[in-house]
Amino acid sequence: MYRAIIFVFAALAAQAAHATIPFTVSIESEAAGIQNSQSKFSAVGVENFNAIRVGNGQNFSTNFGNSIFTGVYSGVDIRSADQYGGAGGNGRYAVTFSSTGYSLDLASSEPGGVTYFGFWLSALDRGNMLGFYQKGKLLFEFSADVAAKFISQLPGAASYRCNPNAAFASKNCGEPYAFLNFYARGGTQFDRIVFAETPRVGGYESDNHTVGRWNRISGSIVTVAGATNGIPEPATWLSMIAGLGFVGIGLRRRGTEVVSA
């Protein structure tokens, strides 16, 4: 299976009087058409939204399929599968059309917290913005621009276009569809994730929200060098991503443990 991993290094600063806190995330895209994580975990759970009623601005709790993880969604729209979302071409999916978006607050019944989040990203548009938080502080942001550049560099990038499900085959071919995985490193955990549509040019559609504690990443490696500088205003957290260095694209590698650059 062709898979590619993109390493994004983001440095975050607390208030000006505090030291910089490092936070590293690697992002992996599964092969075109894959809609579930292929990563390895010590613990994992999935929310597929199929048991949630269709409606806007919903608040609900989940245990991600009776896992050790729990989550609280606030302000999320749930829709039935269509050309823009719904893994497998059926069931339901999550979406927001708001610049403030919706939040997912995470917890674990066992020590170790949450170090992994993955989801099927469908119908990517330039407004899609994803933020990871810890105790109310922004750790990392993943923008649509980064996602689009990443996917465009994958082998057979054109195969990530169009809805891959039979029910909506060849629909919405102007936007990419891909499963993305985010891995926190160096002991970092996150307890809140925010999906937002900024600017508001469409919707941020996603499905198969997967949370866990990861223990293995495999696949072909793509590296992105990140800047680590930035002095914030008080109470402001900055993340900076700079430079693109793509290596190893298209290699067929399985069972490779990835070491942080």
- For residue range 192-247, what is the model confidence (pLDDT) as tens digits? 999 999 999 999 999 999 999 998 874 444 443 332 222 233 222 222 222 222 22
Give the angle subtended at the CA of 239 by the CAs of 133 and 228, to the nearest 5°: 125
- Decide if 2 contacts 178 (C-beta within 8 A): no
Cis preceding-peptide flag for 199 (omega within 30 of 0):
yes
b vs e for 105-129, b when ≥16 Cβ sit within 10 Å of the residue's Cβ?
ebebeeeebbbbbbbbbbbbbbbbb
Alpha carbons 227 and 260: distance in angstroms, whole number: 15
Sequence letter at residue 95? V
Could you read off the pLDDT of 73-101 as tens digits, one per residue? 999 999 999 999 999 999 999 999 999 99
Alpha carbons 207 and 219: distance in angstroms, whole number: 22
Residue 184: the pLDDT is 85
pLDDT surpasses 80 at 145: yes
Average pLDDT over residues 49-60: 98
Alpha carbons 245 and 223: distance in angstroms, whole number: 6
Residues 6+ apart with CB under 8 A from 234: 15, 16
Give Cα separations from 126 to 96, 98, 183 (angstroms).
Answer: 14, 13, 23
* Percentage with pLDDT > 90 across the chain: 58
Alpha carbons 80 and 102: distance in angstroms, whole number: 18
Please, what CATH class does the domain formed by 47-214 belong to? Answer: mainly beta
What tokens appear for 87 in the block? 């893994």
Helices (H) and strands (E) in the chain, counts: 1, 14
Give the angle subtended at the CA of 163 by the CAs of 65 and 39, to the nearest 5°: 40
DSSP state of 207: E
